[in-house]
Amino acid sequence: MPELIHLGKENFQPGDPVFPNLEVLCVHKCGRLENLASTLISFQNLTILNIRSCRGLQYLIPYSVAKNLQQLKRLVVDNCQRMVEIVASNGDDPENEITFSSLQHLELSDLPSLQGFCTGNCIFKVPPLKTFIVKDCHLIELTISPDGLLQSDPRLEIAKETDDEENDRDQTVKRLYVEENTISSHAKNREISSALR
């Protein structure tokens, strides 16, 4: 389904449940898919959400959908090059806490644009996970605190500090090299002067 752009239902009326009994959703290689779910879609019975190679997605789901994923046990997002966040606040009330109480497996990999689980002020809690994998997400470091809070820490500042430190170290090495050569040169000049007397 490389041409798929939206998931939805024909003749949809607001308030009608869409996909209310869906338990497993796997979407692979849908490069033109712009969003997985609108704020009107409910995945209340979803237990597995597996998204791979959907390069057009900038976020996985809106906040209003995420807060209804109480049955979700497995979340895998892989190789989505443009994904900036997993949950988008989209103007929803981002002050609330969401607990993924059934989640056992969380895997985020090859998401080079990912800036956080949610760039809004949402708070996410997870139970002790059986599997927690984060790899090739170069802009953030995702951790889980002892009390189950999912935390996104940007790596850009760390990388910048590292680059600055490397530049400082290079400058220090160059300065020491110049100073050493200058001292060495002065010592040789003194030796030559002493020998000529």
DSSP 61-109: EEHHHHTT-TT--EEEEE--TT--EEEE-TTS-TTSEEE-TT--EEEEE
* Nearest alpha carbon to residue 84 among 44, 56, 125: 56
pTM, to two decimals: 0.71
28 plus 39 within the same structural domain: yes
DSSP labels for 133-184? EEES-TTEEEEE-TT-BEEEEESHHHHHHHHHHHHHHHHHHHHHHHHHHHHH
122 plus 34 within the same structural domain: yes
For residue 188, the cross-strand partners are none
44 plus 98 within the same structural domain: yes
71 plus 164 within the same structural domain: no
Angle, vertex CA 67, rays to CA 46 and CA 26, nearest 5: 30
C-beta separation of 30 from 52 below 8 A: no
10 plus 48 within the same structural domain: yes
Q: Look at residue 158 in the predicted model and tell me its pLDDT.
A: 38
112 plus 93 within the same structural domain: yes
* Domain boundaries, position 175: 156-197
Q: Look at residue 185 in the predicted model and tell me its pLDDT.
A: 53
- Name the burial class of residue 166, with classes exposed (0-12), middle (13-18) and buried (19+) by CB atoms within 10 angstroms of its CB: exposed
183 plus 129 within the same structural domain: no
147 plus 164 within the same structural domain: no
Q: Look at residue 90 in the predicted model and tell me its pLDDT.
A: 63
Low-confidence ranges of the chain (pLDDT < 70): 1-18, 38-40, 90-95, 155-197
pLDDT tens per residue across span 105-154: 999 999 999 998 887 778 889 988 999 999 999 888 888 888 888 887 77
